[in-house]
Chains A and B, each alone.
Chain A
């Protein structure tokens, strides 16, 4: 499969512990307004950078070549709920609305880390994490980036509770890199991540985690797209 799997970060914790971790690990005084999804993403990316070094911190051209692809099935729902609750009281609050987008965590990361390369948000159902990995692989294969932080998150909300999903905050991130490898003129479907299964009460992170466990070995033979 496309990409060299360099490292992963996996978080499963009570939401209040994520807030504590955020206060301790993410030094952003202006980040106080962020929703739980964004705080979780900042903690997670911070940890992967701590593990592998600051891949965003390099000089201009290199920074442009790092991509970020995050996915969620219930992204930023706390903000949606907060804004909607205001609407039912006939008060439309701008702050929750600004964050009522699945793309808010990637936006927060983009701002905090001053990212210039491709930053994508993928939405979907339980498969969304694997979908995000597929997108990341295509970015590498097409030469749109050299490295990509990719994964998915689960931030508990009233909506996820109603769906019967875990009440822990969860995140799984992979760092994939372009690897020097044999050039091929065309990709086969098997070169990209695939998953077709039922949710079975799992969060998207639990699904991605299971997929990574089963496919980790397949990352070792990366292939680069011919131009």
Chain B
């Protein structure tokens, strides 16, 4: 998903964001699965996909550079699933627009 697309459509639909998170996880973290294999609700850290803190920071950087949303250290524990991350982005975009 290009920067131009997200800037032109700041209120991206949730399912598009969910897809962006899935694709980003696979590409940035080099997961050997297909994006569509990542269930929206599967646990990402600790169990489930068993990602770790470095993966979390990598994801944070991706969100910051794609959407221009700063991700604080306190936000990172909330990245429990693909769905929760998509909701985080939506909420941040909504507060920025408000």
A residues bordering B, Cβ < 8 Å? 23, 29-30, 32-33, 91-95, 98
Contacts and interface: CB of A to CB of B under 8 A. Distances in A.
B65 interface: yes
Interface string B47-60: 00010001101100
B29 interface: yes
Candidate in A29, A91, A94, A98 with the most chain B CB atoms within 10 angstroms? A94
A29 B55 CA distance: 15
Contacts of A32: 29-32
Nearest to A31: B32
B30 A33 contact: yes
Contact of B58 (A23, A29, A30, A95): A95
Nearest to B26: A32
Interface residues of B, number: 12
B14 interface: no
Nearest to A95: B58
Interface string B15-51: 0000000000000111110000000000000000010
B69 interface: no
Given A91-B61, A91-B65, A93-B61, A30 B54 contact: no
Contacts of A33: 29-30, 55
27 contacts: A23-B32, A29-B50, A30-B50, A32-B29, A32-B30, A32-B31, A32-B32, A33-B29, A33-B30, A33-B55, A91-B61, A91-B65, A92-B61, A93-B28, A93-B58, A93-B61, A94-B54, A94-B57, A94-B58, A94-B61, A95-B28, A95-B29, A95-B30, A95-B54, A95-B55, A95-B58, A98-B54
Nearest first, the 5 A-B pairs at minimum CB distance are: A94-B57, A95-B58, A32-B32, A91-B65, A98-B54
- Chain A interface main SS type: helix
Contacts of B54: 94-95, 98
Given A29-B50, A95-B30, A95-B55, 4 more contacts: A32-B32, A33-B30, A93-B61, A94-B61
A91 B59 CA distance: 12
A214 to B, nearest CB: 40
B58 to A, nearest CB: 4
Contacts of B61: 91-94
A124 B50 CA distance: 36
Nearest to A30: B50
A32 B31 CA distance: 6
Nearest to B64: A91
Contacts of B55: 33, 95
A94 B28 CA distance: 10
A33 B65 CA distance: 21
